[in-house]
Structure 1
Amino acid sequence: MDFNQFKNKRILIIAGLVAVFTLLSLMIRLIPAGNLVAVDGVNLLGNDPWYNLRQIELLISDSLQYPWYDPMTNYPYGTNNFWGPLYPLIAAVMCIVTGAATRTDIMYVSSWLPALMGAAMVPVMYFAGERLSGYKTGLIAAFLTAIVSGQFFYRSLFGFVDHHVAEVFFSTLFCLVILFYLSYVRDHPVDLKNTESLKIPALISAGAGFAYFLGLAVMPTMLLFAFIMAIYTGIQFIYDHIKNKTSDFLLLFNVVAFLTAIVLYAALIGIRFDGFDMARYSVGHIFAYLALIAGTVVLYALSTYLSEKPSYYYVGAIFGLAIAGLLGLMVVLPDLYTIIVNGLWSFFGYKTTLSTIQEANHWSFENAWNAFNFGLIMMVLAFFVMVYQFIREHKPELIFTIVWSLVILYATTVQLRYEYYLGANIALMSAYFISWTLDYGLKDILGFAGIKPQDKILEEMPEEEKTGKKKKSEGSSAKKKKPVKKAHAAKPKAFPAGIAVVGVIFLLLFSYFSVNVDLAVSNNVGGINGDWMESLEWMGANTPETGVDYYKLYEKDSFEYPEEAYGVMSWWDYGHWITFNAKRMPNANPFQEGVAGPNGSAAFFVQTDEAGSNLVLDNLDTRFVITDVEMDTAKFWAMATWFNPELQQSPYVMNLYQHQEDGSLTPATLYRDEYFETMISKLHNFDGSLVIPSEVLYVEYVSGDMYGAPLPIISKAEYMPYDAAESAVAAFNGNNAKAGAALLSPNVIQPSTKVPALQHYRLVHESPTNVLSGQGGADLKYVKTFEYVPGAIIRGDGIIAVNLESDQGRKFTYMQESVNGEFTVPYSTGGDNYGTRVLSDYTVIDTGETFKVSEDAVMNGLYIN
Structure 2
Amino acid sequence: MAHVDLDKYRPYIIIGVIVLLTLLPLWVRGFIPAADMVTPDGVNLLGNDPWYNVRQVEQTVANFPGYAWFDAMTLYPSGDVVYWGPLFIQIISALCVLVGATTRPEIMVVASWVPPLMGAAMVPVTYLLAKRLTNWKTGLIAAGLIAVVSGSFAHRSLFAFVDHHIAETLFSTIFVLAYVVALLASRDISLSRRSSEVLKMPAITAAFAGVAYLIGFFNMPTMILLALIVAIFTLVQFVLDFAQDRPSDYLVLVNAVTFGVVIIGTAAFGFPHTGLDLSRYTVGHVVACAGLIGGTLVLYGLSVYLRGRPKYYFPAALAGLGVVAVAGLYVALPDIYNLLISSLFAFFGEAPVTTTVQEARAWSFDAAWATFHWGLVLAAGGAATLIWWSRKKVNPAHVFILVWTAIILASTAAHVRYEYYLAANIALLAAIFAGAILDVTYKDVTRLFGTKSSTAPPDAEVARKEEKPARKGKKGARAPDARKTKVSSKDQPDYIKVGAFAAVVVVTLVFAGTSLQTNFAYAASAQYSGINSQWMEGLEWMGTHTPDPGVDYHAIYDQDTFTYPEESYGVMSWWDYGHWITFVAKRIPNNNPFQHGVAGPNGSATYFVSTSEEEANRVLDNVSTRYVITDIDLDTGKFHAPATWANPDVGRDRFEPTFFIPVSAGSTSYQAMTFYNQQYYLTMVSRLHNFDGSMTDPTSQVIYAEYRDADAANASLPVITRTEQMNATAAAAAVEAYNKNAPAGSHATLLNMYYQYRGDAILQPVEQVPALQHYRLVHESPQNVFGNVGAGGPDLKSVKIFEYVPGAHIKGDGIIEVPVVTNTGRAFTYRQESVNGTFIVPYATSGWSGEVKTTGPYRIAGTGQTFDVTEEDIQQGRTIN
Taking structure 2 as the reference length, the TM-score comes to 0.93
CA–CA distance in structure 1, aligned partners of residues 152 and 809 of structure 2: 54
1:741 partner letter = A
Counterpart of 1:90, as a letter, is I
Task: Supply the distance in 1 between the matched residues of 2:195 and 2:457 (Cα, whole angstroms).
Answer: 42
Residue 603 to residue 185, structure 1, CA distance change in 2 (3 Å): same
Match of 2:700 in 1: 695
Q: Percent identity?
A: 47
Moved more, 642-651 or 93-102: 93-102
Specify every segment of 5 or more residues in structure 1 that has no aligned partner in the other structure, as ranges. 478-483
The verdict on how the C-alpha distance between 1:346 and 1:220 changes in structure 2, with shifts beyond 3 A counting, is farther
Of 848, 853, 856, which residue of structure 2 is paired with 1:832?
848
1:538-569 CA-to-partner distances (Å, cap 9, x unmatched) read 00000000010001010001100110010000
SS in 2 for 1:812: strand
Secondary structure of the residue aligned to 2:777 is strand
Kept in 2: contact 1:766–1:783 (CA 8 A): yes
| 1:772 and 2:778 aligned | no
Question: For the structure 1 residues 35 and 190, does the alpha-carbon distance in structure 2 shift closer, same or farther, using more than 3 Å as the test?
Answer: farther
The alignment partner of 1:626 has SS state of strand
Q: 1:670 aligns with which of 657, 661, 675?
A: 675
**Aligned partner of residue 367 in structure 1, secondary structure:** helix
Matches within 5 A, 1:354-393: 354-393=354-393
Query: For the structure 1 residues 174 and 485, does the alpha-carbon distance in structure 2 shift closer, same or farther, using more than 3 Å as the test?
Result: farther
Structure 1's 525 and 469: CA in aligned 2 closer, same or farther, altered over 3 A? Answer: farther
Tell me, what secondary structure is at the counterpart of 2:654? coil
Residue aligned with 1:809, SS: coil
In structure 2, distance between residues paired with 1:684 and 1:5 = 74
Alignment check: 8 A CA contact 1:361 1:414 kept: yes
Contact 2:240 2:394 in 1 (8 A): no
On the 8 A contact 2:699/2:766 being kept in 1, the answer is no
What SS does the aligned partner of 1:311 have? coil
Rounded to whole Å, the distance in 1 between the matches of 2:342 and 2:688 is: 39
Superposition deviation, residue 492 in structure 1:
3.4
CA drift of 1:267 comes to: 1.1
The answer to whether 1:800 aligns with 2:807 is no
Match of 2:787, as an amino acid?
Answer: S
Match of 2:454 in 1: 455
Indicate the residue corresponding to 1:741 in structure 2.
Answer: 748
| Amino acid of the structure 2 residue aligned with 1:443 | K
- The TM-score normalised by the length of structure 1 is 0.95
Partner of 1:814: 830
| Contact preservation (8 Å) 1:659, 1:666 | yes
Quick one: which of 519, 529, 532 aligns to 2:532? Answer: 529
CA contact (8 A) 1:567 1:586 kept: yes
Report the residue type matching 2:495 in the other structure: P
Q: How does 1:597-612 map to 2 (within 5 A)?
A: 597-612=600-615
State the alpha-carbon separation in 2 of the partners of residues 553 and 306 from structure 1. 57
| Structure 1 residues 704 and 649, CA gap change in structure 2 (3 angstroms) | closer
Contact 1:2–1:455, Cα closer than 8 Å, also in 2: no
C-alpha spacing 1:485/1:752, structure 2 compared with 1 (3 Å):
farther
Answer whether contact 2:447 2:492 (CA < 8 A) is retained.
no
Task: Give deviations 1:125-182, integer Å, cap 9, x for gaps.
Answer: 0000000111011100100000001111100000100000000000000000111122
Distance 1:461 1:52, change over 3 A: closer
Determine if contact 1:700/1:739 at 8 Å carries over to the other structure. no
- Give the secondary-structure state (helix, strand or coil) at the position aligned to 1:328: helix
Q: Which shifted more, 795-804 or 342-351?
A: 342-351
2:544 maps to a residue whose letter is A
Alpha carbons of structure 1 residues 471 and 501: separation in structure 2 relative to 1, 3 Å: farther
Match of 2:504 in 1: 501
What CA distance in whole angstroms lies between the structure 1 residues aligned with 2:67 and 2:573?
Answer: 27
Cα gap change, 1:485 to 1:302, in 2 (>3 Å) = farther
1:480 match: none
Deviation at 1:716, TM superposition (A): 4.8
Q: 1:187 to 1:494 in 2, by over 3 A?
A: farther
How far apart, in 1, do the equivalents of 2:340 and 2:719 lie? 49
Within the candidate set 553, 556, 562, 2:559 is matched to 556
Q: Report the counterpart of residue 682 of structure 1 in structure 2.
A: 687
Note if contact 1:152-1:165 (Cα within 8 Å) is conserved in structure 2.
Answer: yes
Residue 570 of structure 1 and its aligned partner are, at CA, apart by 0.4
Q: CA deviation at 1:485?
A: 7.5
**Partner SS, residue 686 of structure 1:** coil
CA contact (8 A) 1:623 1:789 kept: yes
For 1:167, the equivalent position in structure 2 comes to 168
Q: Which residue of structure 2 aligns with residue 427 of structure 1?
A: 427
Separation of aligned partners in 1, 2:191 and 2:13: 34
Task: Give, as a single letter, the amino acid of the residue that structure 2 aligns with 1:769.
Answer: Q
Deviations 1:303-351 (CA, angstroms, capped at 9, x unpaired): 2222232232222222222111111111112232123233213432211
Cα pair distance change 1:701/1:757, threshold 3 Å: same
Mapping for residues 550-589 of structure 1, pairs under 5 Å: 550-589=553-592
Shift of 1:187: 6.5
Which residue is 1:620 aligned to? 623
Contact 1:698 1:741 in 2 (8 A): no
Q: Measure how far apart 1:710 and its partner are.
A: 4.7
Q: Indicate which of 732, 751, 768 corresponds to 1:754.
A: 768
3-state SS in 1 of match to 2:801: strand
The answer (yes or no) to whether the contact 1:113–1:161 under 8 Å persists in 2 is: yes
The aligned residue for residue 229 of structure 1 is 230
SS at match of 1:287: helix
Q: Does structure 1 retain, via aligned residues, the 8 Å contact 2:70–2:557?
A: yes
The count of corresponding residues between Structure 1 and Structure 2 is 852
Secondary structure, aligned partner of 1:745: strand
Q: Shift in Å at residue 256 of structure 1?
A: 0.9
Alignment correspondent of 1:120: 121
Read off the aligned partner of 2:690 and give its amino acid letter.
N
- Aligned CA-pair RMSD: 2.4
Q: Secondary structure at the match of 1:828?
A: coil
Asked if structure 2 preserves the Cα contact closer than 8 Å seen for 1:192 and 1:198, the reply is no
| CA 1:487–1:275: 2 relative to 1, 3 Å | farther
Contact 1:519 1:525 in 2 (8 A): no
1:763 match: 777
Matched, 1:864 2:880: yes
Cα deviation digits, residues 227-266 of structure 1 (max 9, x gap): 0001111111222222222222111111111111111112
Residue 156 and residue 653 in structure 1: after superposition, are their counterparts in 2 closer, same or farther (change >3 A)?
A: same
25-34 vs 58-67, which moves further:
25-34
Distance in 2 between the 1:537 and 1:17 partners?
47
CA deviation map 1:435-470 (0-9, x unaligned)? 00111111233444x3613424799996445x5456
Shift of 1:193: 1.6
Q: 2:353 aligned with 1:353, yes or no?
A: yes
Could you say which residue in structure 1 is the equivalent of 2:756?
none
Residue in 2 that maps onto 1:292: 292
**Of 707, 710, 729, which aligns to 2:735?**
729
8 Å CA contact retained: 1:191, 1:197: no
One of 641, 648, 651 as aligned partner of 1:648: 651
SS of aligned partner of 2:9: helix
Q: One-letter code of the match for 1:788?
A: Y
Q: Does 1:659 align with 2:658?
A: no
- 649-658 or 547-556: which moved more? 649-658
Residues of 2 paired with 1:20 and 1:96: CA distance? Answer: 29
Aligned to 1:208: 209
Q: CA deviation at 1:500?
A: 1.2
- Are positions 1:841 and 2:857 aligned together? yes
Task: Name the structure 1 match of 2:482.
Answer: none
Secondary structure at the counterpart of residue 172 of structure 1:
helix
C-alpha separation in 1, matches of 2:473 and 2:276: 71
Cα distance in structure 1, aligned partners of 2:40 and 2:79: 32
Q: Distance in 1 between matches of 2:347 and 2:709?
A: 40
| CA gap 1:400/1:98 in 2 versus in 1, 3 angstroms | same
Task: Say whether the 8 Å CA contact 1:829–1:841 is kept in structure 2.
Answer: yes
